[in-house]
């Protein structure tokens, strides 16, 4: 069977045959047939916007790999900073490369005092930490005049390091401001995850629990990249105009903020809290089936099988609960999962738990307020966004993003003076 596709324009009888490679054919086939012919694809359901070698996702079989390495192996054996290196460089580091990378990130965690004193302190006292995070990432770029030098590979590396190193600092600062507590400076002698937990929680003789440090690191690994999702697409679209990486990452973080994307973990906890008891699970499922509610943390645009990250997170949840005590919402979540997975409404629509179904329970058990959940997603996703930004800039096939539209507004008509309308 030939690996080609033949498209015939029935209006003209013109035919074009192009190769299918990796399940994809080039849209240049359409341009060849008729340069004014476009494919209508709202939400890009059938459009590959780029070639990418960063993350492989097979939604039908629940497979996720970074640089070819299965997510299960990375979650078990790797660290977040090693994974960030892999995403950015395509290969796992040697021990010397890893030591150098960890040193560089660790020594860029501090942020300019004006960021806290003049910028973050200017927010309203009840500002949402994710709104603050988005704005602070954009503002951070204004402290670095070299941020705009995106054609310079060395400058790019510096911005990448800064953004990965400073994201946890900004996140912790936004949280501390929102609860009116003094900011803890970064500690260079701690790991990436432990430093973040320390900045969040250190009061008096607080010491980071190694189980929670590892759980945080695993959650960071699982959230580091997920190929062309909404936030990453935003990063690429903004980056394609050659905006600086801080502005692009702020746009990506804004996309992540939405409840259908990174905001779902917050929505899951709100949903479980409002269900309240196991007895209310069945009526809730019925209301979802009646279209009155949405089962948050279920369903995915790409996974039509188990989200492999959800399976790993479920195990991590049990590790965390050993230290923190069980989150009382866990029983409701387990019952919801059991009911949904045996109900034809969810089975027929291939709706399975996604990464957000259990992550919120872990965050809550670790004392994070729900308003911080999406920030916890954004911190590690920074490395994925930057890996895609770098890949975009190195890809000669890429140009400024500019989709076409299917115009269905009025035909030409004459302006009517306001008195005659």
Cβ at position 158, least distance to ligand CMC in Å: 29
The single residue among 296, 332, 362, 376 that binds ligand CMC, judged by CB under 6 A, is 296
* Token pair in block for residue 84: 């960030």
* Residue 212 is a binding residue for ligand CMC (CB under 6 A): no
Nearer of residues 48 and 211 to ligand CMC, judged by Cβ: 48
Cβ at position 45, least distance to ligand CMC in Å: 8
Active-site residue, from 217, 225, 307, 356: 356
Cβ at position 197, least distance to ligand CMC in Å: 23
The single residue among 298, 358, 373, 385 that binds ligand CMC, judged by CB under 6 A, is 298
356 has catalytic annotation: yes
Active-site residue, from 9, 108, 112, 261: 261
Nearest residue (beta carbon) to ligand CMC: 299
* Residue 264 is a binding residue for ligand CMC (CB under 6 A): yes
Q: Are 79 and 96 within 8 A, CB to CB?
A: no
Nearer of residues 167 and 178 to ligand CMC, judged by Cβ: 167
Cβ at position 196, least distance to ligand CMC in Å: 21
Q: Are 390 and 150 within 8 A, CB to CB?
A: no
How many residues contact ligand CMC, by CB under 6 A?
20
* Residue 381 is a binding residue for ligand CMC (CB under 6 A): no
128 has catalytic annotation: no
Binding mask 339-378 for ligand CMC (x = CB under 6 A): ----------x-x--xxx----------------------
* Residue 131 is a binding residue for ligand CMC (CB under 6 A): no
Q: Which residues are catalytic?
A: 261, 300, 356
User: Where on the chain is the footprint of ligand CMC (CB under 6 A)?
Assistant: 226, 229, 260-262, 264, 288, 294-301, 349, 351, 354-356
């Amino acid at each position: 069977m030939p690996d080609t596709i033949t498209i015939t324009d029935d209006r003209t009888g013109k035919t074009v045959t192009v190769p299918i490679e990796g399940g994809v054919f080039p849209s240049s086939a359409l341009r060849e047939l008729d340069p004014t012919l476009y494919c209508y694809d709202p939400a890009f359901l059938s459009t590959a916007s780029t070639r990418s070698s960063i993350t492989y996702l097979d939604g039908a079989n629940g497979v996720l790999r970074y640089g070819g390495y299965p997510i299960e192996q990375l979650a078990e054996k790797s660290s977040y900073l090693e994974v960030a290196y892999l995403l950015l460089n395509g290969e796992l580091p040697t021990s010397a490369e890893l030591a150098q990378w960890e040193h560089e990130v660790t020594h860029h965690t501090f942020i300019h005092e004006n960021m806290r004193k003049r910028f973050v302190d200017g927010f309203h006292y009840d500002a949402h930490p994710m709104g603050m995070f988005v704005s602070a990432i954009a503002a951070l770029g204004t402290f670095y005049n070299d941020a705009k030098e995106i054609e310079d590979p060395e400058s790019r590396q510096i911005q990448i390091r800064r953004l990965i190193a400073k994201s946890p600092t900004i996140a912790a600062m936004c949280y501390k401001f929102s609860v009116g507590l003094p900011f803890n400076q970064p500690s260079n002698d701690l790991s990436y995850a432990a430093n973040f937990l320390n900045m969040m929680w250190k009061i008096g003789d607080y010491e980071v629990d190694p189980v929670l440090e590892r759980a945080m690191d695993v959650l960071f690994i699982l959230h580091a990249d997920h190929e062309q999702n909404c936030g990453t697409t935003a990063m690429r679209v903004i980056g394609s105009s050659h905006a600086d990486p801080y502005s692009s990452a702020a746009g990506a973080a804004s996309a992540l903020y939405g409840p259908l994307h990174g905001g779902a973990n917050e929505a899951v906890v709100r949903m479980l809290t409002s269900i309240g008891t196991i007895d209310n699970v069945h009526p809730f499922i019925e209301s979802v089936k009646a279209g009155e509610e949405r089962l948050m943390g279920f369903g995915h645009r790409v996974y039509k099988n188990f989200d492999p990250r959800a399976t790993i997170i479920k195990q991590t949840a049990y590790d965390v609960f050993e230290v923190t005590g069980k989150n009382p919402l866990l029983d409701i979540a387990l019952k919801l999962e059991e009911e949904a997975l045996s109900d034809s409404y969810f089975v027929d629509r291939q709706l399975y738990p996604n990464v957000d179904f259990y992550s919120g329970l872990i965050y809550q058990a670790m004392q994070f307020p729900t308003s911080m959940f999406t920030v916890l997603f954004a911190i590690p996703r920074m490395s994925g966004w930057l890996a895609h930004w770098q890949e975009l800039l190195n890809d000669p096939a890429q140009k400024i993003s500019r989709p076409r539209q299917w115009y269905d507004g009025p035909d030409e008509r004459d302006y009517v003076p306001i008195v005659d309308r």
